[in-house]
Structure 1
Amino acid sequence: MPRQLFLLGGMEALDAFTKPWLEVCGERVAVLSYAPSERHAALYRQRWPECRVDFIAPPAGGELDTDQAAAAIDDASAIFVAGGDTAQYHRLYGSGPLHELIRARYQSGVPYAGLSAGALLAMEQCLIPGADSGEPDRFCPGLGLLPGTLLGVHFAEWGGAATLHRQLRERQVRTGWGLDDHLTLHFRDEGQPVSYGGAAFLIRL
């Protein structure tokens, strides 16, 4: 079974992404979030009515139930990591046992889709954007689903080609993709991707 990786630049990408996603995601999608949101849970359930959507997030003011999250990820036919605060996503899902479980499920052929923060989390080097935190951009180890690559989401808004080019040089990485809010990249077995919603920006050093 091929590995299927979808990287979405922003919420506008959901329109062009949904059809190819439904072709591969199966019957049960685990949507991982960093905060409870009935509105967002309903949005995904309405977009994917053919699927059972398990919306996983810590309760307001509380901690994530990692056993519940692990059970949902383990039972899922596909994993979708939503957008928001990238540092919180990294804390919840990019470290510890959930990190290893998500990696293992992806490697076994369970499709992974990440929207904005969820896309950044999928990288070998996960960008924690200053736009999220009010602090300078920083990098930390991500899930490593797409090695040797850096990613820019909200591309034009967050600095465009100049910023991505600088990050590639500083991190000594040779390939960078820039995704505006309406774009999705779909990788099969980490090969050359298909783009939905328009053309993505590619830099190779």
Structure 2
Amino acid sequence: MGTHLFLFGSSPPFNEQLSDTFYRHLSTSKVAVLYIEREGSDAYIPKYLETFPEEVSLFPLALKQHYTNEEIKELHQCGGIIIGGGDTLAYRRFIVETELNQVIRSLFERGVPVAGFSAGALISPDTSVVSPKDNVTEEQLFEKGLGLLPDAVLSAHYLEWEEQSCLKQAVEKTEVSVGYGIADRSGAYFFNSRLTSIEGYVHIEYI
């Protein structure tokens, strides 16, 4: 069975080949999109499923501090999970620090594919590295992540935000084996935590 993790450097939609791979591993046709509600969300959410066949249905779940039993039950019935982009620290607070953490990890370990876009990608490793350009302190932050990708750190908008030195610093500070710098409109697929395919531009930083 194995685990399936898809990480993207910016906004949706999926890259074409990675979309096909994600779709192939869906356990049901319902896909959850976890997002932070803001103006225009209703029109934006369908972009995450733009590349999928019409049979794939959407379960949009607006992130918050607590979730109802019905929301958790419906999430358990989803065949794939997509974590959206935006404020990385807010995504971390509403996912890593809530009951969604264990739900996502449990589904992921059962083979349900998980995809993260920008902020959603950044919270996926053991350590979530937040760029100085992505928080009000304007300093690089190191926070607890979801733990879906061990022994690695990640940088989103790698080329656009000129994250080269930040990624190198993150690898050195966390003492992980590798760092992945994912540019906009680019993505990577990890099968059983191993980088399996890339679409677009992904820089790999070793110690």
Structure 1 length normalisation: TM-score? 0.89
The alignment covers a number of residue pairs equal to: 201
Of residues 130-139 and 82-91 in structure 1, the stretch that sits farther from structure 2 once superposed is: 130-139
Tell me which residue corresponds to 1:21. Answer: 22
Tell me which residue corresponds to 1:77. Answer: 79
CA shift, 1:52, in A, is 1.1
Q: Is 1:98 aligned to residue 100 of structure 2?
A: yes
* CA gap 1:68/1:35 in 2 versus in 1, 3 angstroms: farther
Distance of 2:84 and 2:55 partners within structure 1 = 19
Instruction: Provide the secondary structure at the position in 1 that maps to 2:204.
Output: strand
Deviations 1:2-34 (A, max 9, x none): 211100111266233322222222401010012
Distance of 2:71 and 2:140 partners within structure 1 = 28
Tell me which residue corresponds to 1:3. Answer: 3
Contact 1:84 / 1:116 at 8 angstroms: preserved in 2?
A: yes
Tell me which residue corresponds to 1:171. Answer: 174
CA shift, 1:80, in A, is 0.5
* CA gap 1:165/1:46 in 2 versus in 1, 3 angstroms: closer
Q: Is 1:44 aligned to residue 45 of structure 2?
A: no
Instruction: Provide the secondary structure at the position in 2 that maps to 1:192.
Output: strand
Contact 2:149 / 2:193 at 8 angstroms: preserved in 1?
A: yes
* CA gap 1:165/1:103 in 2 versus in 1, 3 angstroms: same
* CA gap 1:12/1:77 in 2 versus in 1, 3 angstroms: closer
CA shift, 1:137, in A, is 2.1
CA shift, 1:199, in A, is 4.1
Contact 1:13 / 1:184 at 8 angstroms: preserved in 2?
A: no
Distance of 2:44 and 2:68 partners within structure 1 = 21
Instruction: Provide the secondary structure at the position in 1 that maps to 2:128.
Output: strand
Deviations 1:132-178 (A, max 9, x none): 32222211111101100000110012233222111111222221011
Q: List runs of 5+ in structure 1 lacking aligned partners.
A: none
Of residues 158-167 and 7-16 in structure 1, the stretch that sits farther from structure 2 once superposed is: 7-16
Tell me which residue corresponds to 1:182. Answer: 185
Of residues 131-140 and 119-128 in structure 1, the stretch that sits farther from structure 2 once superposed is: 131-140
Structure 2 length normalisation: TM-score? 0.88
Deviations 1:56-92 (A, max 9, x none): 104xxx7653434422321111110011111111111
Tell me which residue corresponds to 2:159. Answer: 156
Q: Which amino acid aligns with 1:175?
A: V
- TM-align CA RMSD: 1.9
Q: List runs of 5+ in structure 2 lacking aligned partners.
A: none
* CA gap 1:104/1:162 in 2 versus in 1, 3 angstroms: same
Q: Which amino acid aligns with 1:14?
A: F
* CA gap 1:80/1:41 in 2 versus in 1, 3 angstroms: same
Tell me which residue corresponds to 1:133. Answer: 135
CA shift, 1:47, in A, is 3.7
